[in-house]
Amino acid sequence: MTPETPSPGSLFGPDSQFHLFFNDPRWALAVLRATVLEAAHPQIGAALIDNSTFVAHPWRRLRNTLVSLQRMFGPDEEVRRKEAARLNRMHARLSGTDGRNRPYDAMDPEVRAWVVATVFESSVTMRRLSGQPLDPAATERLYAEFHGFFRALGDRGGHLPPTLREFWQYYDRMVEEELENTEALRIILYKLFDHLPAPPLLNGLPTVWAAGRALAGPVVGTVTVASLPEPFRRRAGLPEVPGAQALMQGAYLAAGLTRFLPDSWITTENITGLLYLSPDSDDPRAATLMALRDRMQRAAALFRLVTPFPAQHGPADETGGGGRNAEQFFTDVLDQTGDGYLDWPDLAAMARELSSRLDLDEPEETKLYNAYADWWRELQAALDTDGDGRISREEYATAVPSLAGPALIRLAEVLFTATDTDGNGSIDATEYRSLFQTAFHRDKPTTEPTYSRTAFVKDFLAFMTARSHTTPFDPLLTEA
């Protein structure tokens, strides 16, 4: 089956147009392009700057997005309903004002329509730029699927045009009149790739990662800018790099050639699984990849002698046990949004990540958010010495970060209860995996330990007060 001839049936599931795109390597370029167009919307850009972890934890953010899309476009109606409800609860918590005192609200249906529109349009553009444009019937089918996605979120009222012809008029108007050169857009295009942390698989290989990032980062940025609509590039003042259009065409064509590789090599689940493999994984691919890592480390050591890179700082340099100093813990764990401060959006990001991993529904999700809110008030009262409503790295480091107050202890208890789904007072192997395992699918394990309430709370408190970073909680909240 080809994307041009989708089989009839449901808008969702394995026969959908979206399902074919999901495992198309070119779609990575399309998703990046869509993200930039989303960030150019003033409301979305402001929400990203204030609340998103895309700067400090881009790989985790990508994985969560892919998992959510997989749930929404999968064949199971109940899974889709539950995921839509989760997304709506999450978005209902994201509102505020931008730097120009303009309000933003992630539940605004016009904003949500633009998010859906960018992914649809970028998917169509992906095929056109790679020399395989969708025929009219396939384009109509794809638009019907994204319209179904929008309706599954509960949005009504024509915010996303009902017909494809009206959609293109809407899209052109948004590009020419609504989009701006926002701070979030500039970070994605010009800063994110310069500081992009290594995925878990390449942790411990700072030289290899720095070399690859130095070469690939400018190329990815140039390709993305060149693929954006020309009216927006001109109005936003984005630079025109000589040869950028040819480079962009070449990138899309090269990505398209990977579709001839075996399916098992290029499926999104397999690629994501490889990026998150750990040395102690029981996955049969782990031994091969770890042997390759060892050779890369030896090559990197030799390469540093010839062409030394600046010293790499961050989690990739941490190899020993023991605790962190306060400033390192602040950067690695507490500052989830990467803006240099600790405030409510950072703790809300932790609550979102844990709620998503545990697939919490109401009222458990709200209990976890409320526990984090109580802890934030406790931290703010103790550490916000200048009264500006946030905690700086210096304020945190000079206070008493090892003190576990009542709110943090209560948070540990709430998290244990949410994880202990059968209520037997102990976290078994399956429950353990639901919280700590990073993967698309979480099959029942045989080797993970069980956790008593006392041990769980003790480890959580040791981690969250910077006394230890060898517990399972470390990759849970520090992974890139």
Q: Are residues 347 and 434 in the same domain?
A: yes
Q: Which of 210, 238, 259 is where one domain is finished?
A: 259
Query: At 59, is the pLDDT very low, low, confident or very high (cuts 50, 70, 90)?
Result: confident
Query: In the structure encoding, which two tokens stand for residue 443, read together?
Result: 């099959």
Residue 76 in any domain: the answer is yes
Say yes or no to pLDDT of 81 above 60.
yes
Contact 209, 316 (CB under 8 A): yes
- Distance between start and end Cα atoms, the chain: 36
SS in 3 state form for 244-294?
HHHHHHHHHHHHHHHHHCCHHHHCHHHHHHHHCCCCCCCCCHHHHHHHHHH
- Please report which residue ranges of 73-161 form alpha helices under DSSP H: 77-92, 109-129, 136-152
Number of neighbouring beta carbons within 10 Å of residue 342? 25
The CATH number of the domain holding residue 456 is 1.10.238.10
Q: Are residues 102 and 178 in the same domain?
A: yes
Q: Are residues 137 and 41 in the same domain?
A: yes
Contacts of 65 (CB under 8 A, 6+ apart): 31
Number of neighbouring beta carbons within 10 Å of residue 91? 18
Rounded to two decimals, what is the model's pTM?
Answer: 0.82
Residue 11 in any domain: the answer is no
Count of domains for the chain = 2
Q: Are residues 253 and 353 in the same domain?
A: no
The 10s digit of each residue's pLDDT in 111-126 is 999 999 999 999 999 9
Residue 314 in any domain: the answer is no
The 10s digit of each residue's pLDDT in 85-144 is 999 999 999 999 998 999 999 999 999 999 999 999 999 999 999 888 999 999 999 999
The 10s digit of each residue's pLDDT in 23-47 is 788 888 899 999 999 999 999 999 9
Contacts of 271 (CB under 8 A, 6+ apart): none
Contact 201, 289 (CB under 8 A): yes
Residues 396, 398, 400, 406: what is their CA dihedral angle, to the nearest 10 degrees? -30
Where b means 16+ CB within 10 Å and e means fewer, 178-209 reads ebebbbbbbbbbeebbeebbbbbbbbbbbbbb
The 10s digit of each residue's pLDDT in 407-451 is 999 999 999 999 999 999 999 988 988 888 754 444 444 455 678
Residue 161 in any domain: the answer is yes
Q: Are residues 201 and 350 in the same domain?
A: no
Query: CA dist 425 to 168, 211, 282, 454, Å?
Result: 56, 48, 28, 10
Predicted confidence at residue 114, as pLDDT, reads: 97
Secondary structure of residue 392 in the 3-state scheme: strand
31-40, 205-214, 315-324: which has the minimum mean pLDDT? Answer: 315-324
The residue range of the domain holding 436 is 326-478
Predicted confidence at residue 54, as pLDDT, reads: 87
Query: At 285, is the pLDDT very low, low, confident or very high (cuts 50, 70, 90)?
Result: low
Q: Are residues 77 and 212 in the same domain?
A: yes
The 10s digit of each residue's pLDDT in 361-401 is 999 999 999 999 999 999 999 999 999 999 999 999 887 66
Please tell me the distance from the alpha carbon of residue 32 to that of residue 255, in angstroms, as a whole number.
14
Predicted confidence at residue 282, as pLDDT, reads: 58
Say yes or no to pLDDT of 3 above 60.
no
Say yes or no to pLDDT of 223 above 60.
yes
Q: Are residues 218 and 356 in the same domain?
A: no
Q: Which of 259, 274, 295 is where one domain is finished?
A: 259
Q: Are residues 210 and 116 in the same domain?
A: yes
Residue 375 in any domain: the answer is yes
Contacts of 32 (CB under 8 A, 6+ apart): 220, 224
Contact 255, 130 (CB under 8 A): yes
Q: Are residues 143 and 61 in the same domain?
A: yes
Nearest to 477 by CA among 320, 359, 335, 343: 335
Helices 136-152 and 77-92 meet at what angle, rounded to 10? 60
Please tell me the distance from the alpha carbon of residue 457 to that of residue 4, in angstroms, as a whole number.
54
Nearest to 106 by CA among 114, 29, 236: 114
Strand partners, 427: 451
Q: Are residues 245 and 337 in the same domain?
A: no
Residue 304 in any domain: the answer is no
Query: In the structure encoding, which two tokens stand for residue 88, read together?
Result: 């709506």
Predicted confidence at residue 86, as pLDDT, reads: 94
Amino acid at 235: R
The 10s digit of each residue's pLDDT in 171-192 is 999 999 999 999 999 999 988 8
Q: Are residues 357 and 210 in the same domain?
A: no
Residues 233, 236, 237, 242: what is their CA dihedral angle, to the nearest 10 degrees? -20
Residue 117 in any domain: the answer is yes
Residue 280 in any domain: the answer is no
Please tell me the distance from the alpha carbon of residue 336 to that of residue 350, in angstroms, as a whole number.
8
Q: Which of 210, 236, 259 is where one domain is finished?
A: 259
Nearest to 400 by CA among 376, 382, 380: 382
Structural element, H or E, at residue 16: none
